[in-house]
Amino acid sequence: MQILEALGEGERCVCDLTEGLDLAQSKLSFHLRVLREAGLVSQRSSGRWSYYRLEPQAIEQLAGWLMALRQRCDQPAPPCR
């Protein structure tokens, strides 16, 4: 969530994310790969640096799914059989 929040400020270089989130580069790279594979972030390379940004459409879909999930949280459990 911290990575997503940081990227909510706009495209960021992985070096800036490493410093700003106080994470080891290997740990950050792992999480960024997971987020990229999930389609939540995209990556572009420029020279030796990688830049990441949020994918707005994917974030919108996630927000809708979370809202629907939240609404179901208030429903009582069905009776046991």
| pLDDT of 77 | 82
Q: Are 40 and 58 in contact (CB under 8 A)?
A: yes
pLDDT of residue 23: 86
The tens-digit pLDDT sequence of the chain (81 residues) is 999 999 999 999 998 999 889 888 899 999 999 999 999 999 999 999 899 999 999 999 999 999 999 988 888 888 888
Contact 40, 18 (CB under 8 A): no
Q: Indicate the number of domains in the chain.
A: 1
pLDDT attached to residue 40: 96
For the chain, first and last CA: distance in Å?
39
pTM: 0.80
Tell me which residue of 41, 36, 34, 33 sits closest to 59, measured CA to CA.
Answer: 41
Q: What is the CATH number of the domain that holds 68?
A: 1.10.10.10
**Domain enclosing residue 46, as ranges:** 2-73
